[in-house]
């Protein structure tokens, strides 16, 4: 799969979206609140590093969700 992404996704947009999705998935699979908090922070930081607007927006949405709690 990664080889296919390298060829068909030269700007890493699909790969970045997949990684962001996996990061959010990991939060839901966390064993406890402390682990979920660490994973959430990691996902927010990871999303902020991509140039793809939709991935950055996901990071902002996750960050805004924290402010509500």
Mean pLDDT, rounded, of the chain:
91
Query: Average pLDDT of 43-54?
Result: 95
Q: Which domain holds residue 53?
A: 2-67
pLDDT at 58 over 90: yes
Count of structural domains, the chain: 1
pLDDT top residue among 27 and 67: 27
Compute the 3-state secondary structure of the chain and give helix, strand, coil in percent, each to the nearest 5.
Answer: 80, 0, 20
Q: What is the pLDDT of residues 24-39, one digit of tens each?
A: 999 999 999 999 999 9
């Amino acid at each position: 799969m990664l080889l296919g992404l390298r060829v068909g996704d030269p700007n890493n947009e699909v790969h970045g979206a997949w990684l962001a999705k996996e990061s959010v998935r990991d939060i839901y699979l966390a064993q406890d609140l402390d682990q979920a908090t660490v994973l959430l922070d990691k996902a927010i930081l990871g999303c902020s590093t991509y140039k793809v607007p939709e991935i950055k927006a996901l990071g902002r949405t996750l960050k805004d969700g924290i402010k509500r709690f």
